Chain A
Amino acid sequence: GAVVSQHPSRVICKSGTSVKIECRSLDFQATTMFWYRQFPKKSLMLMATSNEGSKATYEQGVEKDKFLINHASLTLSTLTVTSAHPEDSSFYICSARLSDTQYFGPGTRLTVL
Chain B
Amino acid sequence: AQSVAQPEDQVNVAEGNPLTVKCTYSVSGNPYLFWYVQYPNRGLQFLLKYITGDNLVKGSYGFEAEFNKSQTSFHLKKPSALVSDSALYFCAVRARNAGNNRKLIWGLGTSLAVNP
**Does B83 interact with chain A (Cβ within 8 Å)?**
no
**Does B44 interact with chain A (Cβ within 8 Å)?**
yes
Q: Is B46 within 8 A of A93, CB to CB?
A: no
Complex Cα distance, B115 from A3, in Å, reads 31
Q: Is B49 within 8 A of A106, CB to CB?
A: no
**Does B87 interact with chain A (Cβ within 8 Å)?**
no
B103: which of A41, A49, A106, A107 is its contact (CB, 8 Å)? A49
Given contacts A57-B101, A102-B104, contact A107 B41 (CB under 8 A): yes
Q: What does DSSP make chain A's interface, helix, strand, loop or mixed? A: strand
For chain B, give the interface size range.
20 to 34
Q: Is A34 within 8 A of B41, CB to CB?
A: no
Complex Cα distance, B22 from A102, in Å, reads 21
Residues in chain A near residue B46, CB distance under 8 A:
2, 101-104
Count of interface residues, chain A, beta-carbon cutoff 8 Å:
25
Given contacts A42-B108, A43-B107, A43-B108, contact A104 B102 (CB under 8 A): no
Q: Is A100 within 8 A of B43, CB to CB?
A: no
Q: Is A97 within 8 A of B43, CB to CB?
A: no
Q: Is B32 within 8 A of A100, CB to CB?
A: yes
B109: which of A43, A97, A104 is its contact (CB, 8 Å)? A43
Complex Cα distance, B66 from A55, in Å, reads 38
Whole-angstrom distance from the CB of A38 to the nearest CB of chain B? 9
Please give the residue numbers on chain B whose beta carbons come within 8 Å of chain A beta carbons, in ascending order. Answer: 32, 34, 36, 41-46, 49, 51, 88, 90, 100-104, 106-109, 111
List 7 A-B pairs, minimum CB-CB distance, nearest first. A104-B43, A104-B44, A106-B43, A43-B108, A107-B43, A105-B43, A93-B43
